[in-house]
Chain A
Amino acid sequence: MGPLDRLRKPSGGFGGRSRSRAGRERRWGGSGQLDDGSRPSRSLLVALVLASLTLITLDYHGGDDSPVESARRAVGEVFGPVETGTATAIRPFTAVPDWFRSRGALNEDVARLQAENSRLRSAAATEDYDRNRLREYDGLTAAADNLGYALVPARVVAMGSAQTFSDTVTIDAGSTAGIHPDMTVLNNDGLVGRVLRVTRTTATVLLIVDTDSVVGGRVGESMEVGFLHGRGEIGGDGRLDLDLVDGAEVPASHDTVVTWGSKDGAPYVSGVPVGRVTSVYSSVRESTQRAVIDPYVDFASLDLVGVVVPSGTRSDRAVIEADGSLR
């Protein structure tokens, strides 16, 4: 605004003709308030830009225990229930397309069959893995013990926009439902992500397609391990990259990738189907194999998900136990 001010000032005080000056003053009078307001606005601008930069620095260098985390939690406690309420209010409208496709009992049948289909498909997809696993472990009990977990059902109520370049969603279950950070989130089709932070009533979930997400993966056919990185794209062309640790092993197309699992099942429990190999590249320079994985989960239309909790967790809602019973 500096040059404009300089231009304007001489013209305002120029010449003695009062009529033109009065006219000029009137004209500028309309935006005079703006000019009055704009001079302090520059220092205000500088102050607010500095405040933003301070916030960025605090959060960037503070990491997980930065003071911003508590602010995030406080804002989440306020916005979480509002987001849940809004999502519940609009659910009938977002469900309208479904209602047109199939109504009443038919709709119910389709949902039941879809669920059954997903279950069978994931069972078929992990067959190789399960068989290998059974062979490796001493007995069925150990495997069943490791795969047995309880699920807290939750719905996705808010989704981060792509403009923020991070793929996160909010679910309507929080610490009162027995959810803590670093728990595995999955749905009927496969692995969804992990819990980043919780408020009392909501939790923020990092999707596995996010660029920050790294999941230990295992190719079901060969039991080879590797790391799955997200590409930051959701929707139909959302893909994951699998870097295999053993450079000599080449996964075949259509091989299934399941989670490798971590200690105590945090952040990922083992044996959850993630996706299917679509293509393989070998990098000579890094001497590793890079496979592209098509995830089973459709991240653009996430709705009902389950959070893996230890069996016997106290929750504010029904918990699906390992044997399929509701508690």
Chain B
Amino acid sequence: MSAVRGLVAALAVAVALVLQVTVFPHLAFEGIVPNLCLLVVVAAALTRGPQFAVVLGFLAGVALDLAPPADHVAGRWALALVVVGWLAGRMRQDVKPTATTVVATVAASSFVGTSIFAISGLVLRDPALGVPDLLRVILVAVVWDVLLTPFVLPLLMRMFHRLEPARTA
């Protein structure tokens, strides 16, 4: 069953990635789109805990790093989403997260994830952008992700919950 669960999660990441690069650029604000892959990782972390989420985060990150039209140094999104998966998994202290905690987790995860990506770029001198520009992009990205949370997170979390009984206790 765990193979099925992994397959469904990987499929969710692939769908999120394709939507993120093909559909959302038409709705983008100054080129900034909601990070659907990050939302999938957060949903997995909130329903299934950090262990599952870090693996999914790594997979989603590598996909974001390698799928066209990506051209940045590979591994940067992988690093960011692994940390996001772990942090969001830590948030799951109570059994059922409320709407407020979900939104707060998404906002924090989006901020941390995009920041790690931006900082890794500063270290590698990949984007060569100023800090004010980076901050503006990060903040808009957080707003996008929070705006999409009520539409996307319940669906994803229900999906991951449905897969939960498959877990051999």
A interface with B by C-beta (< 8 Å):
1, 30-31, 33-34, 37-38, 40-41, 44-45, 48-49, 51-60, 68, 71-72, 75-76, 79-80, 82-83, 86-87, 90, 94, 157-170, 196, 199, 202, 204-206, 211-212, 232-235, 300
Contact = CB atoms under 8 A, between A and B. Distances in A.
- 4 pairs of A and B residues whose beta carbons are closest in the complex: A55-B75, A165-B127, A162-B31, A52-B79
Interface string B2-41: 0000000000001001111111111010111101000000
A160 B24 CA distance: 10
Contacts of A52: 58, 61, 75-76, 78-79, 82
5 contacts: A158-B68, A159-B25, A159-B28, A199-B68, A235-B30
A76 B68 contact: yes
B50 A37 contact: yes
Contact of B51 (A41, A75, A166, A167): A41
Contact of A86 (B22, B67, B68): B22
B129 A211 contact: yes
B70 interface: yes
B95 interface: yes
A173 to B, nearest CB: 12
Nearest to A84: B22
Given A38-B51, A44-B54, A79-B18, A161 B169 contact: no
B30 A232 contact: no
A166 B71 contact: yes
Interface in B107-147: 114, 117-118, 120-121, 124, 126-129, 133-134, 137-138, 141
Nearest to A34: B49
A272 to B, nearest CB: 21
B160 to A, nearest CB: 14
Interface size class for chain B? 35 or more
Contacts of B62: 55
Given A38-B51, A83-B18, A300-B31, A48 B93 contact: no
A157 B121 CA distance: 26
A80 B64 CA distance: 13
A161 B28 contact: yes
Contacts of B26: 90, 94
B66 A168 contact: no
Given A82-B18, A94-B26, A162 B32 contact: yes
A94 B30 CA distance: 17
A71 B70 CA distance: 12
A59 B73 contact: yes
A114 to B, nearest CB: 20
A246 B77 CA distance: 41
Nearest to B76: A56
B31 A51 contact: no
Contacts of A49: 79, 82-83
Contacts of A87: 22
A31 B68 contact: no
A165 B118 contact: yes
Contact of A60 (B50, B124, B133): B124
Given A60-B124, A83-B18, A158-B21, A204 B68 contact: yes
Given A52-B82, A163-B117, A31 B93 contact: yes
Nearest to B136: A162
Nearest to A162: B31
Identify the interface centre among B23, B71, B121, B129: most chain A CB within 10 Å of its CB. Answer: B71
A54 B78 CA distance: 11
A1 B72 CA distance: 33
